[in-house]
Amino acid sequence: MTVLAYEIMTPSIKAVPQSWTMDRLARFLTDNEITGSPVTDDNGDIVGIATLKDITEFRWNANRSAFDAELTPEEEADARRLRMVIFEEMGKVPVEVRDIMTPIVLSVDEQTPVKEIADIMMREHLHRIFVKRDAKITGIITTYDMLKLISDQQLANRCAGND
């Protein structure tokens, strides 16, 4: 008997509004001991996902050179000063979650076999994927949820076809 999405998904989703600041998102993720969260619009619809990786990439990109070409030491110093001025000015206007989130929302149906979900997660390099029934998101499957397939002997046997 095949294991399906609804059997391993986490039904409670901790979503954040797209209007939250990046700093508030970072605190939320840390406080909840999670690495990512769905992002909702003003109507409560999920419009993307924001992760610690998104925060890190934003900070990293603000501090690195935008040029692939070799710069003279003077040009590099000028570029560094300009980036710092821009970054300081950006700090005056809080960066919102909508500015750093990934707007693509991949999902599977509740009846999707976990083997298919694992293939999607591996192919797309995902750590989480939403689960839907009809058009409504009913849960999320994370890499942690996928580990249940290994740690739960009954689920492991079903996945292996050893009912």
What is the per-residue pLDDT across 51-106, written as a single tens digit (0 to 9) for each? 998 988 887 765 555 545 677 888 878 877 777 776 666 556 678 999 999 997 78
Please indicate, yes or no, if residue 120 is contained in any of the structural domains.
yes
Question: Which of 77-81, 137-141, 153-157 is the least confident region?
Answer: 77-81
Q: Higher-confidence residue: 149 or 91?
A: 149
Please indicate, yes or no, if residue 87 is contained in any of the structural domains.
no
Please indicate, yes or no, if residue 112 is contained in any of the structural domains.
yes
Q: How far apart are the first and last CA of the chain?
A: 6
Given this model, what pLDDT does residue 58 score? 82
Which domain CATH number covers 127?
3.10.580.10
Given this model, what pLDDT does residue 94 score? 78
Please indicate, yes or no, if residue 67 is contained in any of the structural domains.
no
Given this model, what pLDDT does residue 65 score? 52
**Over the stretch 10-39, which tens digit does the pLDDT of each residue have?**
998 889 999 999 989 999 999 998 888 999
Please indicate, yes or no, if residue 14 is contained in any of the structural domains.
yes
**Over the stretch 94-135, which tens digit does the pLDDT of each residue have?**
789 999 999 977 899 999 999 999 999 999 999 999 999 987
Number of domains, the chain: 1
Per-residue pLDDT averaged across 137-163, rounded? Answer: 84
Given this model, what pLDDT does residue 108 score? 96
